[in-house]
Copies of this chain bind each other. A is one copy, B any other.
Amino acid sequence: MGPRWKGKGAEVKALADPISEIVRQFQSSLISSNSRGMLSGTNVFLKADAELTDLLNRACFGRPRVTSEKNEQWFQLSMEEAFYLQYSLKCITVVDYNDTELNNNELWKYMTSRKDKFPILVKAFSHLRSKNWVVRSGSQYGVDFVAYRHHPALVHSEYAVLVLSAQDGSANGRLRVWSDFHCTLRLCGSVAKTLLILDIEQQQSCAASPSCVDDYIVEERTITRWSPEQGREKK
């Protein structure tokens, strides 16, 4: 199943404006503006001027949030997005409610304490983002992420992504029984997405610091229904 572009000209538009270049611009803009993200619960909030708002929208990070303040746009980042921007792209600094900066280790400690699956989710997120996939929450489809070839305005998401790990029992709550497989594949089929399983092999059982995530190995598998006709001899 290839990408499903939204309307005529979408593919040409996407090719002329690669995500890698948009993210590069977005990254430099954040660095030059010394951007700080405010940690709040399991989200990080980022204030954006007009230029940054445009870049956040184009790079597809965060969700714009309406506030009572005029002339100010806030974006709500997920933990995976915020961590990727601080740790991998090194373009924001996350601060807590005291306005104290959190270094990578502190941020890691906080986020892993809030979400058991965080190490493998952030690995999967970073893995796809570094390959210039646009990655969004997949909760609508009962998966961890959906992945787009370009901006969601131009193309439908191509992959429904489930992140699994053999080592981490608690994270591995999906696809243990056939009925779950059938349910997931049927749903993916009906929304024209391919099920992508990212199997994360953790080298160490504990994930004490973010650096150990760099050693995780990602195995990519797509899963589709097998149709008996495909196995038949051609006439």
Query: How far apart sit A193 and B85, CA to CA, in the bound complex (Å)?
Result: 41
A162 interface residue per 8 A CB criterion? yes
Which of A42-50, A51-59, A92-100, A183-191 lies at the interface with chain B?
A: A183-191
A173 touches B180 (CB 8 A): yes
In the complex, which residue of chain B has the Cβ closest to the Cβ of A139?
Answer: B182
A142 touches B174 (CB 8 A): no
A142 touches B180 (CB 8 A): yes
A89 interface residue per 8 A CB criterion? no
In the complex, which residue of chain B has the Cβ closest to the Cβ of A171?
Answer: B177
Query: How far apart sit A143 and B180, CA to CA, in the bound complex (Å)?
Result: 8
Task: Determine how many copies of this chain the complex contains.
Answer: 2
Asked, given contacts A141-B186, A186-B187, A190-B190, whether A177 binds B179 with beta carbons under 8 Å apart, the answer is no
In the complex, which residue of chain B has the Cβ closest to the Cβ of A143?
Answer: B179
In the complex, which residue of chain B has the Cβ closest to the Cβ of A138?
Answer: B179
A158 interface residue per 8 A CB criterion? no
Query: How far apart sit A36 and B179, CA to CA, in the bound complex (Å)?
Result: 31
Q: How far is the CB of A60 from chain B (nearest CB, A)?
A: 21
**Chain B residues, CB < 8 A from A70:** none
**Chain B residues, CB < 8 A from A179:** 138-139, 142-144, 162, 173-174
A181 interface residue per 8 A CB criterion? yes
Query: How far apart sit A137 and B62, CA to CA, in the bound complex (Å)?
Result: 42
Query: How far apart sit A34 and B142, CA to CA, in the bound complex (Å)?
Result: 49
Q: How far is the CB of A68 from chain B (nearest CB, A)?
A: 21
Query: How far apart sit A182 and B180, CA to CA, in the bound complex (Å)?
Result: 12
Within 8 Å by CB of A187, from B138, B174, B187, lies B187
Instruction: List residues of A whose CB falls within 8 A of some B CB.
Output: 138-144, 162, 173-174, 176-187, 190-191
